[in-house]
C-alpha cells in the first residue's frame, strides 16, 4: 500500500508544481502548455528542469536518482490536469502521455557513462551517426484464450516480453495474440557518438545506443549534434538463445532531445532549433553589412592565419552562402549550390582554407580523399546485429544543405570519385543495395583541393594534363583556381613575416576583423536572404556570355550554358553575402571578374596563349583545329585510291601550312599511329586504318 501511496502523494506534489508555477511574466507556464496539448495534437509536455529545481529542490534531486517513479508520477499528474481541461482528449491519449525533461543540468560526457549511473537520469551530448527504421514496440500485449475468450495480459520487462503459459480463468494452454487489446508505440534505435572536438588525443570515439519511442522518433537525423536526456539501462549479453553470460551492456532510453546551437556545439547555447540567431546577433550582423568596407572585412576574416589568396577566400565565402535553388513548375530544380576546385603546388595552404571553411560553415564536413570510399561519401547499407537493414549516411548526405570539403581529391580511387558526378549536378545521391532503393538529398556545395600529377604545377601543360581527373567532373566545378607557388621577393618577405608573427604572438597576429562565431552566424543569416535578378545584372551576364560564344571571332571560346548558370549563381551569392534583396550590376561584374581570373589560370590554352574553355572540356580549340588539318592533308595526299603516303612528303606538306613545326608534325604522326587512325604499311609509308 505504501508504494501506491507514495506514487499518489508524489503525483499530488507534482500537480501542485504544474498548476502553481509562474514564469517571470506571471504566466502559468505549464498549465498553459497542458492546455495547448489538444490544439497542437501533442502527447508530451516538456518541463524545464531549472524551473522544477527552483520550485521543489528536494524532488528535483529525486528526479536524478529515481527517474522511473518520478516520471510515472509526472505522467499521472499531467493526466489529472488534462482530465479537467479536455477530458475527451485525455481519454484518447491516456496510454501515450509523456513528460520530457528539458534543460537538464546533470550532464556527463559519453566517456562517463559507466556502471555507476545505471537507472539514473543523465544528459549527454554527441553527434547522431546512425538511425534505424521505425518499428512498433509492444507496451502491453493481450492474449485471447481459445477456450473461454478471456484476455490474458503479457507483461513487458525492458525489451523482453513474457507470454503467459496458461489462461487465468480456465487453465487452457492455447492462447492467441489479440492486437485489439494490445498497445503499441513507435520505436527506433539511434547511435550517438562523441563530438569530434571533445575527443581526447589518441582515443577512439565512444558511442552509445539509444532507444527512442513515441513522438521522439525521427526527431534527429544522422549528422545532427544533439543534447540527449535519458535513463541509462542495461541488457544482458547473449552468446546463444540458451546461454547468457554475466556480462551486460549499457543502453540509453531517450527522454528528450535538444539541438546544440552553434557550429562547435558549445554546451550553453542549447536550443530546440538547429543554429539560432538571436536578436542581438541580428543587430550586429546588420551593422557589419551596412559598413562600406563590409565585403573586404568579410574576406579578411576568412582564415586570417593564411596570407594572401584573396580571390580564393572570396570564392569560398560565396560558396558557403550559395545561391537560391530554383524549383520549376515541372518538378525539376536548378541548383543553387556552387562547387569550387583548388589545384596547386604543395604548401600553398589549400588544406588550411578547406578546414577553416568546414569550421565556419553553418553545416560543414571535412574529409580527405585517400580514406574516403564511395559508400563513405554517399551512403552505405549495413545489416545490424538484430538483422535490420540500416542506411548509414555518408559525408555528402550528412552535409545536406551545407558544405563538404574534400581534400586530396586526386588521390581518391576512380570508382569512389564517380559517386560525386550525380551529387554535383543533380544534388541527389541514389542507393540501390540490399533491397533498399532510395534517392537521398545531397544539396551540398563541394569544395575540393588536389595536387598536380607531378608534384608541382607545370605551366607549359593544360590543366587536364596537370590534374589526374576525369573531364566530366572538372566541368561541374563553377570555379577552378590554380594556386602557383612562384618565388617573388616582396611577396615572400610578407608571407614569411606573417608566419613568423603568428609563431611569436598567435592571438594578435591572426586576429580576424570579424569574430569567427559572428562570421558563422553572419553566413547562416545570409543564407536566408532571397535576392532577385535585376535587369542590369541580366544584361551584363548575357553580353559576357554572347561575347564568349562569338563564333565568327578567331579566338572563339567554347563556353557552355553551365558556365552561364555559374555566373548567375556567383552574382546571386555576392548579393546574398552583402544582405541585398536585388542582384545589381556590380554583383554581376564581380562574378565575371572571378570567372575571368579562373580563365586566366586554368582556362588558358598553353599552345596559343589564349583563353579557351575547351581546355576544361578535353581538347583546346587549337588542338582540335590542328587535328582537323592533319587529317585533311593526309586524305588529300592518299587521294581517292587510298594510296600510301610517304612520311617525308607528308611532313613537308604539314610544315608548308605554317601551322606545324617539324617536331610537332612528327608528334602528331606518332599520336595518330597510337590512336589507330593510320598505320605504317612499309618503312616510311603510311596508310589510313
pLDDT value at 269 more than 60: no
Output 108 or 243, whichever has higher pLDDT.
108
pLDDT(268) > 50: no
Residue 341, pLDDT above cutoff 60? yes
Which position has the higher pLDDT, 232 or 105?
232
Residue 394 or residue 247, greater confidence: 247
Sequence-separated (6 or more) residues with CB below 8 Å from residue 197: 264, 265
Q: What is the pLDDT of residue 599?
A: 76
Average pLDDT, the chain: 79
pLDDT at 613: 56
The more confidently predicted of residues 402 and 223 is 402
> Kind and range of the H or E element at 611?
strand 610-611
Domains of the chain: 2-102 (3.30.1640.10), 108-271 (2.40.50.140), 324-484 (3.40.50.300), 529-606 (1.10.8.60), 621-688 (1.10.10.10)
pLDDT of residue 305 exceeding 50: yes
Percent of the chain with pLDDT over 90: 3
More confident residue, 48 or 241: 48
- Only one residue has cell 507496451, namely 139
Write the pLDDT tens digit of every residue in 159-178. 677 777 788 778 777 788 88
Range in 52-61, 148-157, 448-457 the model is least confident about: 148-157
Interacting residues of 270 by C-beta distance below 8 A, sequence separation 6+: 103, 227, 258, 259, 260, 261
Asked if the model's pLDDT at residue 657 lies above 60, the reply is yes
pLDDT at 229: 92
Q: Give the per-residue pLDDT at 231.
A: 92
Mean pLDDT across the stretch 661-684? 70
Kindly state the average pLDDT of the residues 625-638.
Answer: 68
DSSP string computed for 426-472: T-EEEEEETTEEEEEE---EEEEEE--TTSS--TTS-HHHHS---HH
Note the pLDDT of residue 504: 84
CB 65 within 8 A of CB 153: no
pLDDT at 264: 37
Q: pLDDT band at 232, cuts 50/70/90? A: very high
81 pLDDT more than 60: yes
Q: In terms of pLDDT, which residue wins out, 194 or 648?
A: 194
Does residue 405 surpass a pLDDT of 80? yes
Place of cell 546533470: 106
As a whole number of angstroms, the distance between CA 94 and CA 377 comes to 45
What is the pLDDT at residue 338?
A: 85
Residue 126 has pLDDT above 80, yes or no: yes
pLDDT band (50, 70, 90) for residue 551: low
- pLDDT tens-digit series, residues 313-323: 888 888 888 88
In DSSP terms, 339 is beta-bridged to 446
Q: What is the dihedral of CA 662, 667, 673, 678, to 10 degrees?
A: -40
CA distance 258 to 256: 7
SS3 296: helix
Say which residue the cell 568596407 belongs to. Answer: 293
* pLDDT number for residue 210: 92
C-alpha cell of 513? Answer: 576583423
| pLDDT, tens only, 470-513 | 777 887 888 888 888 888 899 889 888 888 888 887 777 667 77
Phi, psi of 623 (to 5 degrees): -70, -40
pLDDT at 263 over 50: no
- Residue 612, pLDDT > 60, answer no
- The three cell numbers locating residue 204: 577512439
User: Which set of grid coordinates corresponds to residue 248?
Assistant: 551486460
Only one residue has cell 475468450, namely: 149
Q: Best-predicted range by mean pLDDT among 152-166, 468-482, 639-653? A: 468-482
* Segment 542-562 mean pLDDT: 68
107: three-class secondary structure by DSSP: strand
Enumerate residues 6+ apart whose C-beta is below 8 A from 309: 348, 349, 353, 483
Confidence check: pLDDT of 205 > 60: yes
Q: What is the pLDDT, as a whole number, of residue 506? A: 72
What average pLDDT does range 383-390 have in this prediction? 70
User: What is residue 248's predicted lDDT score, i.e. its pLDDT?
Assistant: 87
**HEC profile of 45-87:** EEEEHHHHHHHCHHHHHHHHHCHHHHHHHHHHHHHHHHHHHCH
Tell me which residue of 443, 442, 462, 444 sits closest to 453, measured CA to CA. Answer: 462
pTM comes to: 0.67
Q: What is the mean pLDDT of residues 635-664?
A: 69
Residues 672-680, mean pLDDT to the nearest whole number: 70
Let me know: does 213 contact 178? Beta carbons within 8 Å. Answer: no
Measured distance CA(479)–CA(504) in Å, rounded: 36
Q: Has residue 417 got a pLDDT over 50?
A: yes
Other beta carbons within 10 Å of 419: 22
**What pLDDT, in 10s, does the model give residues 505-544?**
777 766 777 788 788 888 888 888 888 888 998 999 888 8
- C-alpha cell recorded at residue 257: 532531445
Per the CB < 8 A criterion, the answer to whether 618 and 564 are in contact is no
pLDDT at 614 over 60: no
Question: What's the mean pLDDT in 459-466?
Answer: 77
Query: Percentage of the chain surpassing pLDDT 70?
Result: 83
Instruction: Say whether pLDDT at 607 is over 70.
Output: no
Phi-psi group of 121: left, alpha or beta (phi > 0 → left; psi -120 to 50 → alpha; rest → beta): beta
Closest Cα to residue 213, out of 236, 190, 242, 182?
A: 190
pLDDT attached to residue 616:
55
Q: Is the pLDDT of residue 21 over 80?
A: yes
Amino acid at each position: 500500500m505504501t508504494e501506491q501511496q507514495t506514487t499518489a502523494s508524489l503525483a499530488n506534489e507534482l500537480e501542485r508544481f504544474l498548476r502553481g508555477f509562474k514564469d517571470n511574466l506571471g504566466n502559468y507556464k505549464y498549465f498553459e502548455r497542458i492546455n495547448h496539448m489538444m490544439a497542437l495534437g501533442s502527447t508530451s509536455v516538456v518541463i524545464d528542469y531549472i524551473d522544477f529545481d527552483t520550485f521543489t529542490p528536494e524532488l528535483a534531486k529525486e528526479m536524478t536518482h529515481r527517474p522511473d517513479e518520478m516520471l510515472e508520477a509526472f505522467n499521472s499528474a499531467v493526466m489529472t490536469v488534462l482530465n479537467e481541461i479536455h477530458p475527451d482528449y485525455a481519454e484518447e491519449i491516456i496510454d501515450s502521455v509523456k513528460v520530457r525533461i528539458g534543460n537538464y543540468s546533470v550532464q556527463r560526457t559519453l566517456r562517463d557513462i559507466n556502471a555507476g549511473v545505471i537507472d539514473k537520469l543523465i544528459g549527454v551530448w554527441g553527434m547522431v551517426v546512425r538511425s534505424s527504421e521505425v518499428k512498433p514496440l509492444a507496451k502491453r500485449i493481450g492474449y485471447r484464450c481459445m477456450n473461454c475468450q478471456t484476455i490474458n495480459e503479457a507483461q513487458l520487462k525492458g525489451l523482453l516480453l513474457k507470454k503467459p503459459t496458461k489462461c487465468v480463468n480456465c487453465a487452457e494452454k492455447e492462447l492467441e495474440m489479440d492486437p485489439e487489446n494490445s498497445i503499441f508505440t513507435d520505436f527506433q534505435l539511434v547511435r550517438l557518438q562523441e563530438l569530434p572536438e571533445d575527443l581526447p588525443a589518441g582515443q577512439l570515439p565512444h558511442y552509445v545506443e539509444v532507444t527512442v519511442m513515441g513522438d521522439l522518433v525521427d526527431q534527429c537525423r544522422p549528422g545532427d549534434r544533439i543534447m540527449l536526456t535519458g535513463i541509462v539501462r542495461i541488457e544482458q549479453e547473449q552468446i546463444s538463445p540458451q546461454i547468457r553470460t554475466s556480462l551486460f551492456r549499457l543502453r540509453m532510453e531517450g527522454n528528450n532531445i535538444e539541438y546544440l546551437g552553434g557550429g562547435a556545439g558549445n554546451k550553453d547555447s542549447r536550443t530546440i532549433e538547429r543554429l539560432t540567431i538571436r536578436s542581438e546577433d541580428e543587430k550586429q550582423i546588420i551593422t557589419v553589412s551596412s559598413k562600406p568596407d563590409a565585403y573586404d572585412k568579410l574576406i579578411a576574416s576568412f582564415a586570417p592565419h593564411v596570407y594572401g589568396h584573396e580571390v580564393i577566400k572570396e570564392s569560398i565565402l560565396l560558396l558557403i552562402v550559395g545561391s537560391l535553388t530554383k524549383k520549376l513548375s515541372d518538378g525539376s530544380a536548378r541548383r543553387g549550390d556552387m562547387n569550387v576546385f583548388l589545384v596547386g603546388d604543395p604548401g600553398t595552404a589549400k588544406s588550411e582554407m578547406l578546414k577553416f571553411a568546414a569550421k565556419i560553415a553553418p553545416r560543414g564536413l571535412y574529409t580527405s580523399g585517400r580514406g574516403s570510399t564511395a559508400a563513405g561519401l554517399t551512403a552505405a547499407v549495413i545489416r545490424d546485429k538484430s538483422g535490420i537493414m540500416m542506411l548509414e549516411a555518408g559525408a555528402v548526405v550528412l552535409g545536406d544543405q551545407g558544405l563538404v570539403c574534400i581534400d586530396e581529391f586526386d588521390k581518391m580511387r576512380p570508382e569512389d570519385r564517380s559517386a560525386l558526378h550525380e551529387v554535383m549536378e543533380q544534388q541527389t545521391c541514389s542507393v540501390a543495395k540490399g533491397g533498399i532503393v532510395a534517392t537521398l538529398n545531397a544539396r551540398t556545395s563541394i569544395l575540393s583541393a588536389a595536387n598536380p600529377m607531378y608534384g608541382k604545377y607545370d605551366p607549359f601543360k593544360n590543366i587536364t594534363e596537370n590534374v589526374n581527373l576525369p573531364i566530366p567532373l572538372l566541368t561541374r566545378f563553377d570555379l577552378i583556381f590554380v594556386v602557383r607557388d612562384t618565388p617573388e621577393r616582396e611577396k615572400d618577405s610578407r608571407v614569411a613575416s606573417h608566419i613568423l608573427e603568428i609563431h611569436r604572438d598567435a592571438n594578435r597576429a591572426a586576429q580576424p576583423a570579424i569574430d569567427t562565431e559572428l562570421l558563422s552566424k553572419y553566413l547562416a543569416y545570409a543564407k536566408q536572404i532571397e535576392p532577385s535578378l535585376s535587369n542590369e545584372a541580366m544584361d551584363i551576364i548575357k553580353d559576357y556570355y554572347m561575347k564568349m560564344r562569338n563564333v565568327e571571332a578567331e579566338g572563339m571560346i567554347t563556353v557552355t550554358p553551365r558556365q552561364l548558370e555559374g555566373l548567375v549563381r556567383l552574382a546571386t551569392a555576392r548579393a546574398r553575402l552583402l544582405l541585398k534583396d536585388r542582384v545589381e550590376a556590380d554583383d554581376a561584374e564581380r562574378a565575371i571578374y572571378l570567372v575571368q581570373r579562373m580563365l586566366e589560370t586554368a582556362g588558358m590554352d598553353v599552345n596559343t596563349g589564349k583563353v579557351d574553355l575547351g581546355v576544361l572540356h578535353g581538347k583546346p580549340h587549337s588542338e582540335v583545329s590542328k587535328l582537323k588539318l592533319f587529317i585533311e592533308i593526309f586524305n588529300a595526299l592518299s587521294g581517292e585510291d587510298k594510296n600510301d603516303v610517304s612520311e617525308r612528303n607528308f611532313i613537308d606538306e604539314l610544315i608548308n601550312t605554317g601551322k606545324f613545326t617539324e617536331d610537332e608534325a612528327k608528334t602528331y604522326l606518332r599520336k595518330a599511329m597510337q590512336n589507330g587512325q593510320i598505320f605504317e604499311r612499309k618503312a616510311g609509308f603510311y596508310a589510313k586504318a
